[in-house]
Chain A
């Protein structure tokens, strides 16, 4: 183990101050410079916007964000205050929650039932239907918009009458293939002795599902919840199609996209608006990153 660590960090047991030791040290330094340099470069775009969002309007327009890093410091919360007063960001934040929460809860509940059947029950066509779901992961959602929209309009299931019901239903349909795929794979990996001994003890299907399968699957369900939450929270296309840009119903992504097109030169407000839209996903991401990564690793075919 120590040999491995030594090899990886580029430090070995070579005699100190020998040419070989110096070469290895130098290699280590180059490695750290490369890693830190790449990471810093990667952070520049986001850091630039974050710093700009705290700069006054006149400063943003007359000098680059990097000049704010040197004294005299001149930061303000004006942009945030103004964007919350003048645009719809507060309301949109609320709409985003209204759209996202049911669109996470409903498909995952339905998917858990289906995934259990796909994993542990036998029925004709099971493997073929599952294969079809895997195929659907790659199919562009664009293919479904026009007919679904026509049906929604003809039965009056539009935002004005039904609020967000239409977009909840649509997200349920769109989220199911991936959710079933991820959960079924996890359920299948549970040891089969578990099911056999439960059956011997006389436990019914419901008991097995609610008392054994679900409690054991908390990590899988958690990563799926985070995945679906971020996916819907950050979605622009489905929201544009089924919700539209009307101020009272638009989620954050749609409002921010509208601001981008309308503000033009007044882009100091845009900086603050962009960060307001990122707060929730960043908090979710930073607190639950472990589960998010696990979800990505489990289902890397999500389309």
Chain B
């Protein structure tokens, strides 16, 4: 490693993390100084804008305006001429294997399997762990994959799925089990089109279950103990209590976690990029967009894929907004 770099970059870093907050602080203090010079009536209507404008500028410049730009690009050719819906046509041609259809199909697999299994495991672990005295330790262990990058997660699972020809010793955990316990031929988990999508989804489920477990566990602890006690006194079994008392009370939280997971599933990228690069029929929309942009130099097609992704997210987005307004109304 070249240490001369530290001499130029470390001062830059220190400068940035001191100077930028200082400039922002000076802006707020200076703004307040100017607001105080205004007539009484104007103060209240000017001040809030001074506080929110920097944020609005960034959000507009990096999210809102570019999103509008992407809509325009999706109707343009590489040279910038208007070509109507041609980009969309190319992405949605030759159902079920042409254009973006494989990616759309796989995103549907992700959406259903990833969301359901993560909710299932999250709920199962939350309920089981709630009953043991060493809950915090086991929760930390399950939660730990949340801290690592999806790239590292991809490396971990590449090892789990490692394949050696049938006559060689199997060094991958799963194939060792397949060969030594079930006496079957080893599987090429990541290239075999009948299993590879599920293999990727399984890796992703492993990484995110801690997230749903933590939120669901908090909701579980929010259920009043006397309620469960009353049900037990009435002679209800643990399974009945779960079905009739715990689950209904946790439903709102399950829905919130579920919608978040749906968004994660639609945006799936890193794991696919690292483990298969979208080959062997494992492409997803986010990876397809990246490939169209960088490998095919096709910004129009990439934009069209991004818009398809947005359209897929819109129902969740509307649901989130309704949820938010409902919560606001209860305040």
Contact = CB atoms under 8 A, between A and B. Distances in A.
A and B interact physically = yes
Nearest to A273: B155
B309 A296 contact: no
Contact of A105 (B21, B132, B267): B21
A272 B145 CA distance: 17
A63 B171 contact: yes
A146 B299 contact: yes
Interface in B222-269: 225, 228-229, 232, 256-257, 259-260, 263-264, 266-267, 269
Provide the main secondary structure of the chain A interface. Answer: helix
Contact of A114 (B55, B61, B169, B302): B55
Interface in B174-197: 176
Contacts of B133: 9
Which one of A39, A110, A236 has the greatest number of beta carbons of chain B within 10 Å? A110
Contacts of B146: 230, 285, 292
Nearest to A118: B52
Given A143-B66, A297-B215, A180 B206 contact: no
A189 to B, nearest CB: 10
B200 interface: no
B160 A113 contact: no
A303 B267 contact: yes
Interface in B289-328: 289-290, 293, 299, 302-303, 305-307, 309-310, 313, 316-317, 320-321, 324-325
A38 interface: yes
Contacts of A94: 1, 5-6, 9
Contact of B313 (A7, A62, A138, A275): A138
Contacts of A284: 147
Given A236-B269, A281-B147, A274 B155 contact: yes
B263 A109 contact: no
A147 B63 contact: no
A286 B259 CA distance: 28
A298 to B, nearest CB: 10
- Interface hub of B17, B171, B206 (most chain A Cβ within 10 A): B171
Interface in A81-112: 90-91, 94, 97-98, 101-102, 105-107, 109-111
B113 interface: no
A282 interface: yes
A277 B44 contact: no
Interface in A159-212: 163, 168-170, 172-174, 176-177, 180, 204-206
Contact of B176 (A3, A64, A267): A64
A133 interface: yes
Given A94-B9, A105-B20, A282-B147, A7 B232 contact: yes
Interface in B9-42: 9, 12-13, 16-17, 20-21, 24-25, 28-29, 32, 36
Given A91-B5, A114-B51, A123-B48, A4 B173 contact: no
Between A9, A42, A134, A240, the greatest number of chain B beta carbons within 10 A of the residue's beta carbon is seen for A42
A136 interface: yes
B82 to A, nearest CB: 17
A176 B58 contact: yes
Interface string A9-44: 110000000000000000000011011101100111
Given A3-B229, A38-B125, A42-B141, A278 B148 contact: yes
A31 B49 contact: no
Contacts of B17: 101-102, 105
Given A105-B20, A168-B16, A230-B147, A121 B225 contact: no
Contacts of B148: 234, 277-278, 281-282
A282 B70 CA distance: 37
A109 B24 contact: yes
B2 A45 contact: no
A262 interface: no
B196 to A, nearest CB: 16
A60 B171 contact: yes
28 contacts: A45-B156, A45-B206, A91-B2, A94-B6, A101-B13, A114-B52, A114-B56, A122-B48, A123-B48, A123-B49, A123-B52, A126-B48, A136-B63, A138-B316, A139-B67, A142-B289, A146-B293, A146-B306, A168-B16, A169-B58, A176-B55, A204-B36, A236-B151, A256-B152, A275-B152, A285-B146, A285-B147, A303-B260
The 10 closest A-B pairs by CB, nearest first: A173-B62, A147-B69, A285-B147, A234-B149, A114-B55, A117-B51, A144-B66, A90-B1, A123-B48, A147-B66
Interface of B: 1-2, 5-6, 9, 12-13, 16-17, 20-21, 24-25, 28-29, 32, 36, 44-45, 47-49, 51-52, 54-56, 58-59, 61-67, 69-70, 73, 125, 128-133, 138, 140-152, 154-160, 169-173, 176, 206, 209, 211, 214-215, 218, 225, 228-229, 232, 256-257, 259-260, 263-264, 266-267, 269-270, 273-274, 277, 286, 289-290, 293, 299, 302-303, 305-307, 309-310, 313, 316-317, 320-321, 324-325
